[in-house]
Amino acid sequence: MEILIGLLIIAVGSFCQSSSYVPINKVRGWSWESFWLTQGVFAWIIFPLLGALLAVPEGASLCDLVTSENTFNIIMTVIFGALWGVGGLTFGLSMRYLGVALGQSISLGTCAGLGTILGPVMLNVFYPEASHLDKLTASVLWGVAITLVGISIIGVAGAMKARSLSEEEKQAAVKEFNFPKGIAIALLAGLMSGCFNVGLEFGSTLHFENTEPMYSSLPATLLVTIGGFLTNASYCLWQNARNHTFGDYCKRDLLLNNILFCALAGGLWYSQFFGLSLGKGFLVGSPTLMTFSFCILMALNVSFSNLWGIILKEWKGCSRSTIAVLVLGIVVLIISTFIPELLK
């Protein structure tokens, strides 16, 4: 029962994340870099900080975790967060050229597989005595493989969509649709985004001894998102200067509306990792699912993002066979979340 509760909590967080790009459509009169930076303040600083505070026992502070023995892991967590930040930038571009459904599918699918595998691999490089590679059991690898199969099927559906629609129909669904450019950017986004889980792995020891398991990964999440914020903020501020869009933040008639929707988008985005932390608190009895949990989150993100893609009519005009392939891919992804537990 606890495993089902944990998976349900992760699924709720995933649904919220997949919904986070809907409020952005309500942001008006701002350039991409302005709303991306503003929602990032909420998604990567404010909400992660509030979450991390839940892991701090009474009489302590987050600063107490900054000790000499934790220095290396803190630095590595932030560094991989900064690398993940590159993935975050290209992730936004992938949806710009492919749409919410296909962009998230390819990016998150690559992120799911590589993130799950790279975490234990990188830890094993620095701490070989801890045998981190033992986490990559056959059942976990099978789960990753099936997840990638599901992503590939959705990619096929995307290719079918690209071939079947006229240029006018593509532009109607996604204004800047460009399949070759979008695929390349989405794969890069997935590779770099997988660094998020690597950062979480390096930060897995950064918590207080008496912190409840469901909150224990929230301080590490904060460090990863801080690293990602530094990357994204640097790029966005450079774009503001280059495109002369600093004036966006001074449009008083739009400011309240845009900040509110950016805050909503940021809160929904952070829900995925808050839910991941809470959900893992119920999965401690299954080391296999603990290792595979990041992949589960990404697979569910892909499933929900494609449902939003259907709702937002990004697949409008596609043939029944294309929709059937898309649905098959979603079903495979859902099945993949249970495979490791069944095979262990």
Nearest to 313 by CA among 302, 303, 323: 323
At residue 212, the pLDDT reads: 85
Average pLDDT, whole number, for the chain?
Answer: 83
Q: Cα-flanking dihedrals φ and ψ of residue 210, to 5°?
A: -95, 15
At residue 120, the pLDDT reads: 82
pLDDT of 164 strictly over 70? no
- Structural domain boundaries of the chain? 2-343
CA distance 83 to 89: 10
User: pLDDT tens digits, residue range 176-185?
Assistant: 566 677 777 7
pLDDT of 167 strictly over 60? no
Specify the length of the chain in residues. Answer: 344
Q: Is residue 230 packed enough to be buried (19+ CB in 10 Å), middle (13-18) or exposed (0-12)?
A: middle
Take residue 244 and report the two structure tokens written for it.
């002369």
At residue 76, the pLDDT reads: 93
Confidence (pTM): 0.82
Nearest to 25 by CA among 95, 91, 75: 95
Nearest to 329 by CA among 154, 174, 167, 191: 154
At residue 47, the pLDDT reads: 97
CA distance 32 to 115: 27
At residue 101, the pLDDT reads: 59
User: pLDDT tens digits, residue range 248-303?
Assistant: 999 888 999 999 999 999 999 999 999 999 988 888 777 777 778 888 888 787 77
Nearest to 296 by CA among 10, 25, 53, 63: 10
Residue found by looking up tokens 């990357």 in the block: 231
At residue 257, the pLDDT reads: 93
Take residue 207 and report the two structure tokens written for it.
């918590």
At residue 176, the pLDDT reads: 59
At residue 244, the pLDDT reads: 94
At residue 231, the pLDDT reads: 93
pLDDT of 157 strictly over 60? yes
Distances (CA, A) of 198 to 115, 178, 233: 7, 31, 21
User: pLDDT tens digits, residue range 6-56?
Assistant: 888 998 998 888 888 778 888 899 998 999 999 999 999 999 999 999 999
Q: Cα-flanking dihedrals φ and ψ of residue 229, to 5°?
A: -65, -40
CA distance 114 to 121: 10
